[in-house]
Amino acid sequence: MLLPLLGTAALAFTPKTNVLLTKQIALATTILVALVGILMTVKFDFNTTGFQFVESHEWIPAFGIKYALGVDGIALVLILMSVLLTPIVVIAGWHESEGGRWSTKTFYSLLLVLETMMIGVFASTDVFLFYVFFEAMLVPVYFLIGGFGSGERAAAAVKFLLYSLFGGLLMLASIIGIYVMATRYGNRTFDITTLSQLHTVLTPMMENVLFLGFFIAFAIKAPLWPLHTWLPDAAKSATPGTSVLLLGVLDKVGTFGMIRYCLTLFPNASKTFTPIIITLAVISILYGAFLAIGAKDIKRLIAYTSISHFGFITMGIFAMTTQGHSGATLYMFNHGFSTAALFLVAGFMISRRKSSTIADFGGLQRVTPIMAWSFFIAGMSSLALPGLSSFVSEFLVLVGTFTRYPVAAVIATFGIVLAALYILIPVQRALHGPTTPGNEQLTDLTLREKIAIAPVIAVIVALGFYPSPLLKIINPAAATVISQQGFTDPAPTMSEDK
């Protein structure tokens, strides 16, 4: 995981003027990291639960803080997603760094530092270390949005940072709370496995308060209604590549944190708050979808669809069933790729048309067929068309939720109907219909852009037909979390009727 940092160090020594070399080093580093990530996945032992590839060093022994890393199935899948998406972002955004305030070197240094922290945040098994990555990650993203974005980038960057910092500080209060409680009960540590026993001695009141500190931080990150307002601005102002990382990876930290920290550390509190959270999730699904239908700007549209999708993920997590969890984790992975596809193609479209208003893209189907098809597939994946990857995960989430919260699941299903609307309307407007004046001269995707988008679409299609390899990784981990919760999957009601 330190590999990207080495890349950053290498970047530091390349001359500022040699833009091409900078990009090549960055790309080589990210590809190397991706290969290591794939290798890890291959070597991962599907049959055991618990953390693998464990690594642990003393960091600040005075506070019982360790530099401890390790992955379970859920973390592994998310790390895999991050390391696969990063090189794609580098290829797709080959020219993104050039419109920025600072040099290309700065852009890629920030990107690589960010990649290091993304891996760190998923891999850390020490709560303190997790927090350090969680917060420190904000700084490179902040500069990526503020320095290289477009439009009101500074304001968007600040909004993003303030929201996240606020949530982060609430979480810090909770972490201090856990730490002091752990010390009081004789175990000065931040180790997640040890701390997951702490709930047995906490008073319910205490557990609820600590839970909320974590949950609000993650809900801002995820983003759950009503804490979502930073996202559309940030997504609109960031470069498409940064947006991919922001929505595709960073926001997953929120939902990942809910599984890893909220549920594991505070199972009783999680149960207490489940009805409220499910309600919020359902509101997010519908609210995001309605906003998406009304969106005029293509990047905002994608951001709103994400709010809707994150509603599904959160619902799956708090349904507290194995299916729900597996579905949610798979959803995180798939959402990473379908959002990546949408944002990247949108980025290509915007860079050609110099506008991000949906109405400006008419009749692309005829002018630039490959670009239009890519957008179409990405869109279909986003609305969970059977045969594409998102369908499996959305189905699992809904089934998992239905067994425990049928009403919520039924209402959420309307979200799918709305999804058809918010994807099909822009697809129709942008791709079909008469060619909008000014679009006749647009060029189709270049080879570089094809290379960037092809693997994403390949993943979307492949996982749509054959998701089981990933599910094999996820399922044991999801089952462990559920059993730690003291939950059992509800028995299928059919068998009781007999």
Partner 1 sequence: MINFVTPTLDYALLAPILVVLAGALLGVLIEAFAPRNSRASSQLFVTLSTLALSLASLIRVRGRASTSAAMESVTFDGAGLLLQAAILIISIVAVFLLADQENFTALAAALPGSDEERSSLQQDLKVTEVYPLTLFAVAGMLLFPLATDLITLFVALEMLSLPLYLLAGLSRRRRLMSQEAALKYFLLGAFASAFFLMGITYIYGYSASTSFAGIHAAVIGGVGNDVYLLLGIAFISVGLLFKVGAVPFHAWSPDVYQGAPTAVTAFMAAATKVAAFGAMLRIFYVSFAEVFWQWRPAMIAIALVTMVFGSLVAIAQRDVKRMLAYSSIAHAGFLLSGVIALNKSGLDASIFYLFSYGVATIGAFGVVTLVRDSAGEVTDLNRWSGLGKRSPWVATAFAGFLLAFAGIPLTSGFIGKFSIFSAAYESGSTAILITGVLSSAIAAFFYIRVIVLMFFKDPVEDGTSVVIPSIYTQLAIIVSTVTTFALGIYPTPLINFIQSTASFLR
Cα first-last separation, the chain: 53
Nearer to partner 1, 146 or 362 (CB): 146
As measured in angstroms, the least distance from the Cβ of 176 to partner 1 is 4
Q: What single DSSP character describes residue 362? A: -
Q: What string marks each residue from 95 to 124 as x (binds partner 1 by CB under 8 A) or -?
A: ------xx----------------------
The answer for residues whose C-beta is within 8 angstroms of residue 303's C-beta and 6 or more apart is: 231, 232, 234, 235, 236, 243, 247
Which is nearest to 34 in space by CA: 90, 76, 81, 93? 81
**435-470 burial code (b ≥16 CB/10 A, e <16):** bbeebeebeebeeebeebbebbbebbeebbeebeeb
Q: What string marks each residue from 382 to 421 as x (binds partner 1 by CB under 8 A) or -?
A: ----------------------------------------
Sort strands 65-71 and 52-60 into parallel, antiparallel or unpaired. Answer: antiparallel
Instruction: Examine residue 442 and tell whether it contacts partner 1 (CB under 8 A).
Output: no
Out of 60, 276, 451, 462, point to the residue binding partner 1 (CB under 8 A).
60
Residue 239 near residue 148, CB atoms below 8 Å: yes
Apex 69 CA angle, 67 and 74, nearest 5 = 145
Nearer to partner 1, 184 or 296 (CB): 184
Tokens of 378: 């990405």
Out of 54, 169, 201, 454, point to the residue binding partner 1 (CB under 8 A).
169
Nearer to partner 1, 213 or 363 (CB): 213
Instruction: Examine residue 6 and tell whether it contacts partner 1 (CB under 8 A).
Output: no
How far is 391 from 370, CA to CA, in rounded Å?
23
As measured in angstroms, the least distance from the Cβ of 58 to partner 1 is 7
As measured in angstroms, the least distance from the Cβ of 168 to partner 1 is 9
Instruction: Examine residue 58 and tell whether it contacts partner 1 (CB under 8 A).
Output: yes
Out of 66, 105, 153, 325, point to the residue binding partner 1 (CB under 8 A).
153
Instruction: Examine residue 266 and tell whether it contacts partner 1 (CB under 8 A).
Output: no
Which is nearest to 286 in space by CA: 443, 419, 415? 415
Nearer to partner 1, 136 or 411 (CB): 136
Instruction: Examine residue 177 and tell whether it contacts partner 1 (CB under 8 A).
Output: yes
Out of 170, 283, 399, 425, point to the residue binding partner 1 (CB under 8 A).
170
Instruction: Examine residue 179 and tell whether it contacts partner 1 (CB under 8 A).
Output: yes
| Residue 253 CA, distance from chain mean position | 6
Q: For partner 1, how many residues bind (rule: CB under 8 A)?
A: 35
Query: Which stretch of DSSP H or E encloses residue 55?
Result: strand 52-60
Tokens of 74: 């859920």
Nearer to partner 1, 66 or 404 (CB): 66
Nearer to partner 1, 53 or 102 (CB): 102
As measured in angstroms, the least distance from the Cβ of 146 to partner 1 is 5
* From 81-89, 173-181, 279-287, 453-461, span contacting partner 1 (CB under 8 A): 173-181
Nearer to partner 1, 120 or 464 (CB): 120
How far is 428 from 350, CA to CA, in rounded Å?
17
DSSP secondary structure letters along 249-317? IIHHHHHHHIIIIIIHH-HHHHHHHHHHHHHHHHHHHHHHHHHHHH--BHHHHHHHHHHHHHHHHHHHH
**377-393 burial code (b ≥16 CB/10 A, e <16):** bbbbbbbbbeebbbbbb
Instruction: Examine residue 139 and tell whether it contacts partner 1 (CB under 8 A).
Output: yes
Out of 61, 186, 434, 437, point to the residue binding partner 1 (CB under 8 A).
61
Out of 38, 54, 180, 458, point to the residue binding partner 1 (CB under 8 A).
180
Out of 112, 157, 198, 247, point to the residue binding partner 1 (CB under 8 A).
157
Out of 35, 38, 162, 458, point to the residue binding partner 1 (CB under 8 A).
162
Instruction: Examine residue 54 and tell whether it contacts partner 1 (CB under 8 A).
Output: no
| Residue 47 CA, distance from chain mean position | 26
Instruction: Examine residue 371 and tell whether it contacts partner 1 (CB under 8 A).
Output: no
Query: What SS3 class is residue 467?
Result: coil
- List interacting residues with partner 1 (CB under 8 A): 58-63, 101-102, 131-133, 135-136, 138-139, 143, 146-147, 153-154, 157-158, 161-162, 165-166, 169-170, 172-173, 176-177, 179-180, 183
